[in-house]
Amino acid sequence: MVQKVRALVEGGTVAGVYSSAFSNVPISGVTQSAKATQLLPPSGPSLVSPWGCGSRFGVGLIYLLGGIFAFLGFLALFYLIAGIGKFSEYYGAFYCFPIAAFFFAIAIAITIRKQKAATRLKAKYAIDRARWEHARDTWNELYYCARDDVVFLPNQAGKCVPASQMSALLGWP
């Protein structure tokens, strides 16, 4: 028996609401046959961000430390200009400017590196998305032969593989 893969997957998938003998709470679920599970359409690519929770927190903390040191440096400069206190009292606070610059330089370098990684990942995602769309369109055209357990594209010689190797025919992992 030959049928479209899409129809086989949809026919082998049952969704419903079940009730248990032990509880009055309805339970919903989806059940698939083994063949429908094997012939599922290719799953799409996912866009991965280089900015994990730790990266965002860490860079934010570095910017915060740079801001604190810059604030202390400007505060000392203000007190000195306003004539409150002597230079010797605020001399140590002027070291805050290079420390602030150091923290800002590190945070900016990390931000630039993460942005470059994000650009590379977006470009890879665009390529993967195009490949996946082609694989999905090919999957929509596939037929399944139950007698030989193969999937094939009609009217295309050499486009027949065992059902377990469907991903090779689709060209998608």
For 49-108, write each residue's pLDDT tens digit.
999 889 999 999 999 999 999 998 888 888 888 888 776 677 777 788 999 999 999 999
Please give the single-letter amino acid code of residue 46: S
Tokens 């129809």 found at = 7
Q: What is the pTM of this model?
A: 0.69
Beta 26-32 vs 2-4: how paired, if at all? unpaired
Average pLDDT, whole number, for the chain? 86
Least confident of 22-31, 139-148, 163-172: 22-31
Residue 17's pLDDT band (boundaries 50, 70, 90)? low
Please give the single-letter amino acid code of residue 104: F
- Residue 128 has φ and ψ, to the nearest 5°, of -65, -35
The residues spanned by each domain of the chain are 2-40+144-170, 53-129
Is residue 21 packed enough to be buried (19+ CB in 10 Å), middle (13-18) or exposed (0-12)?
Answer: exposed
Instruction: Name beta bridge partners: 15.
Output: 30
Euclidean distance between CA atoms 167 and 71, whole angstroms: 58
Is residue 16 pLDDT above 70, yes or no?
no
